[in-house]
Structure 1
Amino acid sequence: MQDKIAQSERLAMQVSINSIIVNLILSVGKLAAGILANSAAMISDAVHSASDVFSTFIVMAGVKISNKASDAEHQYGHERLECVAAIILAIVLALTGIGIGYAGLEKILHASAEDLKIPGSLALIAAVISIIVKEGMFWYTKKAAAKINSSALMADAWHHRSDALSSIGSFIGILGARMGYPALDPLASVVICLMIVYASYEIFKDAIDKMVDRSCDEATINTMTALINAQKGVDHIDVLQTRKFGCRIYVDVEVSADDDLTLLEAHTIAENIHKAIESNFSEVKHCMVHVNPCSEVHHD
């Protein structure tokens, strides 16, 4: 398990470092393009990319701390701290989006016609490059997050996707402004705000679900049920409970077996179930199995 955790941490760190490098280059490039091309939407987009750098540092810290080994004071590990990192990331993302939306509304409501300048073509080019790069980073980060089941890294992936959506909004706003509707440029900032806030809500909700011991989805439960029933000596399942603990899963199982089994035979059944669950579900950190006699009457 520790080797697997170490490999996951290395992958998360490498993806995060790559993310920081890409976001630094993009944010500087988009800011320069926004200033030179007089585009409020592109400047807002640059701020969003810059916030990605900060959020990635949060992800790195969350992954690093959550992968610490269990100790005397934290005997079940530190996995939930990754959820804390995801929650912080969601808050940062929401505040960034609200700030962008506020600036866009201010410009729409209070700027004069002279203030609503027509953005240059450089801003359009920057938006297209950003869309391509950020969508690529979304799929790259999402694949790594799914591989190691990291909620913080998955949140960072969706941060990339929100940045790609922001750039699409920027492109539409800039193009509309260049076609004679200058108000569309700051209006794009407001649309970007809504997209970012929604993405932050999704990240926050997922992190909270993992903080409050939410059970696994129905498909996972059904697969576990079939796997347990397939083990030799199992008569039927009495109890199957799961809970998400950060990016890991804990499983509690009670099965009934023949009354005449020896203690060693009953233990073998429990051990086989334990190994089957942990070997077929990499995100399961621990599986506790109890074997009941078939004749035992269970009461809630």
Structure 2
Amino acid sequence: MARTAMLAKPPVSDRMRSIRRVLWVILFLNLGVAAAKYLYGAATGSAAMQADGIHSVFDSAGNVIGLIGIALASRPADESHPYGHAKFETYASLAIGILLLLAAFEVGSSAVVKLVSRNYTADVTPFSFVVMIVTLCVNLGVTFYERRRGKELKSEVLAADASHTLSDALVSVGVIVGLVFVALGFPAADPIVALIVTVAILATAYDVFKHALATLSDHARIPEDELKAFVMGIPGVKEAHRIRTRGTEGEVYVDLHVCVDEDMTVGAAHDLSEQVEDAIKLRYPQVIEVLVHIEPDDGHED
């Protein structure tokens, strides 16, 4: 006996709308930060500041990709996509990862050219530090806000973008350190810091790809032992096995086999399956669908 239960909580579209609002706010903040760092870096000849500005531009491009991905992911299930379109959010995360790789190439190649040619042109002024410190504070604020909302909404795009923005903040710290060394008479520190920026971007890309591939490879979203122990605590359940979970962090699908007393009536077994489904969704709010297969507890091994 099997029954599929739909999610008994606010519509997925409300979650997607909230993610979209966050992305719009972050987009405008990232554009402001990128413009400040890149334009001032270009005016003073600082490769590190320009590199940091480029990184912030790619943050903004990632926001745009995220908005497109969320627009696609929010579409309801249809005949050709019976499980919905939630994985488009994951595809958007992968696209952000690709942009990060392109940003790393741009930043790294520019730094190498400066090191090889020994063309150190950075001009450090007190305002250079003002620009970097202000944009660093903005980045930190964006990171904490986006990470908090990402956890609340179980959003892969927001989580990936928050990690990206945090790396941007850490890069800004590195740029500030580089500017200090340039001011002290070590001009080569500027492109060297730009190379450190490249490494930070690559590390961020790796993290983005790792989380996206976990979803696309149907990585288990809830530990099997944990879910089994929970289900076994429901009155009437004799045994639970073949427990599987998959999906995005915000939309998890569960299927499992539950053994009941072999003398239980069909109606009672059906009611128990509903109790199991409702209990799982109450315990794990990210679960949107549960499939329970009822079996008699007659000692057989499935």
**Structure 1: segments with no counterpart, 5+ residues:** none
2:55 maps to 48
* Counterpart selection for 2:118 from 111, 131, 147: 111
1:276 maps to 279
Q: Is the 8 A contact 2:155 2:250 kept in 1?
A: yes
1:86 lines up with 2:93 in the alignment: yes
Deviation at 1:246, TM superposition (A): 6.7
Q: Distance in 1 between matches of 2:282 and 2:148?
A: 21
1:125 maps to 130
1:239 maps to 242
Q: Distance in 1 between matches of 2:122 and 2:180?
A: 13
Q: Is the 8 A contact 1:227 1:276 kept in 2?
A: no
Indicate the percent of aligned positions where both proteins have the same amino acid. 26
1:177 maps to 182
Deviation at 1:245, TM superposition (A): 4.5
RMSD: 1.6
Structure 2: which amino acid aligns with 1:156? D
* Counterpart selection for 1:13 from 20, 23, 26: 20
1:32 lines up with 2:39 in the alignment: yes
Deviation at 1:209, TM superposition (A): 1.1
1:293 lines up with 2:300 in the alignment: no
Deviation at 1:49, TM superposition (A): 1.1
Q: Distance in 1 between matches of 2:184 and 2:79?
A: 65
1:137 maps to 142
1:58 lines up with 2:65 in the alignment: yes
Q: Distance in 1 between matches of 2:127 and 2:39?
A: 10
**C-alpha spacing 1:182/1:62, structure 2 compared with 1 (3 Å):** same
Q: Is the 8 A contact 1:37 1:122 kept in 2?
A: no
* Counterpart selection for 1:74 from 68, 74, 81: 81
Helix, strand or coil at the partner of 1:297: coil
Q: Is the 8 A contact 2:221 2:246 kept in 1?
A: yes
TM-score normalised according to structure 2 size: 0.93
**C-alpha spacing 1:295/1:234, structure 2 compared with 1 (3 Å):** same
Helix, strand or coil at the partner of 1:50: helix
* Structure having greater relative contact order (Cα 8 Å, sep ≥ 6): 2
Deviation at 1:15, TM superposition (A): 0.8
Q: How many residues align?
A: 295
1:248 maps to 251
1:165 lines up with 2:163 in the alignment: no
Q: Report 1:187-206 matches (<5 A).
A: 187-206=192-211
Helix, strand or coil at the partner of 1:206: helix
Q: Distance in 1 between matches of 2:222 and 2:235?
A: 26
